[in-house]
Amino acid sequence: MKSTKAFLQKINMPAGDDYTLADSNKRFSDGAQYRFEIPGIQGPSTMEALLEALEQYKLTIHRITQTKGIMMLTDQEIERMVALAKQSQTELVLAIGPRAVNDTSASVNTPEGQRMGYRLRGQDQIVRAIEEVKRASAFGCYSFLVYDEGSLWVFNEARKHAEIPAECRFKISAHTGHGNPCSAKLLESIGANSFNPVRDIQLQMMASIRQAIDIPLDLHTENPASTGGFIRHYEVPEMIRVSAPIYLKTGGSVAKTHSWDTSSADAKNRVKQVSLVKRVIDAYYPEATASPKGSIK
């Protein structure tokens, strides 16, 4: 294996997983190591409840992610969510759709078809995905959750050619199923602005991915029951140390599934989970630096 590892190092890739768990010296543009993200906020009423709970807990989060898809929102709902994001100085990420589970193919619902995840089938779906970005950006949302590598590439090309706004940013979902430095490098090279690896990725794997890319990692501190249901709060200080810059995706354990229709009560419980993670950081890595309110780039 020595020659293979030497080759990987020659092309600026890690020779293997980083069991030394080296400190990451990379940071967000504001110098911070970590930010909080709450996923699964599917509409404006739930978003309002979430923001109210954040005020009660006196917590700052930096990103709110909707996962069901732009196509599931009315124009008025998008406008309201964009307004709430601006008011709270929080980044709003809307999910791209249509996707496999909304398509006319039954393949995704079979054991074999599940391997396709939420990827797009056919070029018409690519056209529709670009239309989703155009629609949401017209209302002032410029951050998007992407489930398909080909669509990421074409979104990046559209951004270069001014078919969509230059300020559009693309976050890669864990549902694309990537979890190694080479995949991360590929995604970064075709336009990803942040990368969410598979949920059960271990610390030494995070550390090796961090060596390969500069964009932020989006890492789950916990998960819905459908994707393992595990809670990793005590690992968070080490996640920050080896993976910065990092978005801590928190609150997922409140949901049963990825696109869970979060209620107002669920939203408040997601905020409570953020408070629990923040307690662990303050106790075990108090010197870790978080972005201030309003740092959304």
Tally: H helices and E strands in the chain = 9, 8
Q: For residue 27, what pLDDT is reported?
A: 98
Instruction: Quote the tokens at residue 94.
Output: 């809307």
Contacts of 7 (CB under 8 A, 6+ apart): none
Name the nearest CA neighbour of 182 among 6, 1, 9.
9
Name the nearest CA neighbour of 65 among 188, 190, 173.
173
Instruction: Quote the tokens at residue 80.
Output: 């309201």
Does the pLDDT at position 184 exceed 90? yes
CATH match for 32-284 among 3.20.20.70, 3.50.50.60, 3.40.50.2000, 1.10.1740.10? 3.20.20.70
Task: Tell me which residue has tokens 């993976």.
Answer: 243
Mean pLDDT of 195-208: 96
Instruction: Quote the tokens at residue 202.
Output: 């271990």
Taking CA atoms, 243 is separated from 23, 132, 219, 232, 238, in Å, by: 8, 31, 9, 15, 8
> For the CA atoms of the chain, what is the radius of gyration?
18
Lowest mean pLDDT of 18-32, 81-95, 112-126, 282-296, name the range.
Answer: 112-126
Mean pLDDT of the chain: 92
Q: Which amino acid is at 23?
A: D
Q: For residue 229, what pLDDT is reported?
A: 81
Residue 199 · residue 258 · CB < 8 Å: no
Instruction: Quote the tokens at residue 41.
Output: 């906020």
d(CA 208, CA 14): 6
Lowest mean pLDDT of 30-34, 102-106, 203-207, 243-247, name the range.
Answer: 102-106
Q: For residue 228, what pLDDT is reported?
A: 78
Q: Which amino acid is at 25?
A: N
Confidence of residue 297 (pLDDT cuts 50, 70, 90): low
